[in-house]
Amino acid sequence: MLNASLPKVDEVYVDAQRALESIADAYSVRRAEHRDILGVVRINRLCLPENYSAGFFEDLLNAYGKAFHVAIHREDGVVGYVMCRVEVKKGFFSEEKLKSLHIVSIAVMPRHRRRKLGYALMAYAMNSGRRDYDCRESYLEVRVSNEPAINLYKKLGYSIITVIPQYYLDGEDAYLMARPI
């Protein structure tokens, strides 16, 4: 079940920093702030069928803000985000109860994709899940048809744990993917 070539969180983070350096003239990634929320809500509505109220984003920013990151473009402003929740649950890779970083939502605006921003957002979230919240695992749900996202998560060392039948409102199944961090 465990991804055979599991990259260390530190390695992924350094890799992401290097990728961001190469596009630093136009892009940066930083922790989200309250002034970013309207932009984040807009990206969420444009990019995903799973939408949340601004209040939900605010709540997760207040509760787990160190793991909530945004990608900023020099001219377009906020063009991507990753939002997380820290949960205490039985591990996927151990029998013990542990803190797990749940990736609740991630998206990058279409015209800013394939520049490693999704990778960097995930790397920053995983790094702060481990360092700031003492999480030992991270998990997420993804539509079984969402090839770009599944590829991204595999690249980051996530494995498919199980299929959750009809997880989404339109009846599509989800993969539950996870990795130790």
List residues near ligand COA by CB under 6 A: 47-48, 106-108, 113-119, 142, 146-149, 151-152, 155
Q: How far is the CB of 127 from ligand COA (least distance, A)?
A: 15
- For ligand COA, the closer of residues 133 and 150 by Cβ is 150
Q: How far is the CB of 103 from ligand COA (least distance, A)?
A: 8
Please identify, using beta-carbon distances, which residue of 29 and 96 lies nearer to ligand COA.
Answer: 29
Pair type for strands 69-73 and 174-180: unpaired
CA distance 137 to 89: 10
Nearest to 81 by CA among 54, 53, 120: 120
> If DSSP codes are grouped into helix, strand and coil, which group holds residue 110?
helix
Nearer to ligand COA, 83 or 108 (CB): 108
Residue number closest to ligand COA, CB atom: 118
If you search the block for the tokens 């997760």, which residue do you land on?
A: 60
Give me the least distance between CB of 97 and ligand COA, in Å please.
25
Q: Pick from 63, 69, 57, 165: which is nearest to 108 by CA?
A: 69
